[in-house]
């Protein structure tokens, strides 16, 4: 039997932490290893406990979830972070994703979505709702230059096919959808994605999407 997924809860509301603990401890493959009452404590507890997953509230006293995420990611920790927010259009969610979070969840979502998200992120994938993806695209759309997009020099380490895959990732396509569009197998798509992650030190698809828009490879207005 594989080791359980170790989770740290970071939220300034004790009742929220208790509710999450009750949900997660009902699962045989998940164990809650600790609770933190604010972002600063969350950073310290992540360093001490080395959880697989950190459930991080975005709005907390002392140190908010964005800065706590940034500090954890900068430390080189292998812990992966899922941002928790009350509002799915929280303006700070995009900043948290940029800081290194592997996804986000709305607190009032169904219990099964919390459990599924933890398993998904622990398996190396990312969790991002369609609406937050649209917000991400909208933000980059406002910042995007009007001139035609060219392959930036910063992406010259990628092959032409890897650039195609990265563009498709930025459009939110799944591996199966990318495979169909490019007329290749899903295994080939996974290999290309793995090479992209390796070349640019990316941890998941969220960071790949941000890379595509940061470098100007993908254009939100052109993709719609």
Residue 43 token pair: 């950073």
Residue by residue, pLDDT tens for the chain (224 residues) are 479 999 999 999 999 999 999 999 999 999 999 999 999 999 999 999 999 999 999 989 889 999 999 999 999 899 999 988 876 555 677 778 778 888 888 888 788 889 998 998 898 777 765 555 556 656 555 544 444 444 456 788 999 999 999 988 887 787 888 999 999 999 999 999 999 999 988 877 878 887 887 788 876 544 44
**Interval 188-198: pLDDT, tens:** 999 999 999 99
User: Three-class SS of residue 56?
Assistant: strand
pTM exceeds cut of 0.75: no
Confidence (pLDDT) at 93:
72
Separation CA 189–CA 203 (nearest Å): 16
Strand order in the sheet with 104-106: 30-36, 5-10, 53-57, 80-85, 104-106
Confidence (pLDDT) at 151:
47
Confidence (pLDDT) at 90:
54
Q: Which residues contact 125 (CB under 8 A, 6 or more apart)?
A: 204, 205
Separation CA 152–CA 213 (nearest Å): 11
Burial 32-67 (b: 16+ CB within 10 A, else e): bbbbbbbbbbbbebbeeeebbbbbbbbbbeebbbbb
Distance between start and end Cα atoms, the chain: 45
Separation CA 201–CA 88 (nearest Å): 28
Q: What is the largest CA-CA distance in the chain?
A: 54
Place of tokens 């609406």: 131
């Amino acid at each position: 039997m594989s080791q359980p997924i170790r989770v740290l809860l970071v939220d300034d509301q004790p009742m929220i932490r208790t509710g999450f603990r009750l949900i997660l401890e009902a699962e045989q493959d998940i164990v809650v290893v600790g609770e933190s009452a604010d972002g600063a404590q969350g950073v310290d507890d992540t360093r001490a406990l080395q959880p697989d997953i950190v459930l991080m509230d975005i709005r907390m006293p002392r140190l908010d979830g964005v800065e706590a995420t940034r500090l954890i990611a900068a430390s080189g920790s292998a812990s992966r972070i899922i941002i928790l927010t009350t509002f799915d259009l929280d303006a700070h969610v995009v900043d948290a994703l940029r800081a290194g979070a592997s996804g986000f969840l709305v607190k009032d979502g169904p219990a099964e979505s919390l459990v599924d998200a933890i398993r998904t992120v622990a398996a190396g994938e990312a969790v991002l709702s369609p609406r937050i993806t649209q917000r991400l695209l909208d933000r980059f759309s406002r910042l995007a230059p009007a001139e035609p997009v060219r392959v930036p020099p910063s992406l010259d380490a990628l092959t032409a096919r890897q650039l195609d895959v990265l563009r498709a990732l930025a459009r939110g396509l799944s591996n199966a959808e990318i495979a169909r569009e490019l007329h290749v197998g899903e295994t080939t798509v996974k290999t290309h994605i793995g090479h992209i992650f390796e070349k640019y030190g990316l941890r998941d698809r969220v960071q790949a999407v941000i890379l595509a828009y940061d470098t100007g490879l993908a254009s939100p207005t052109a993709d719609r």
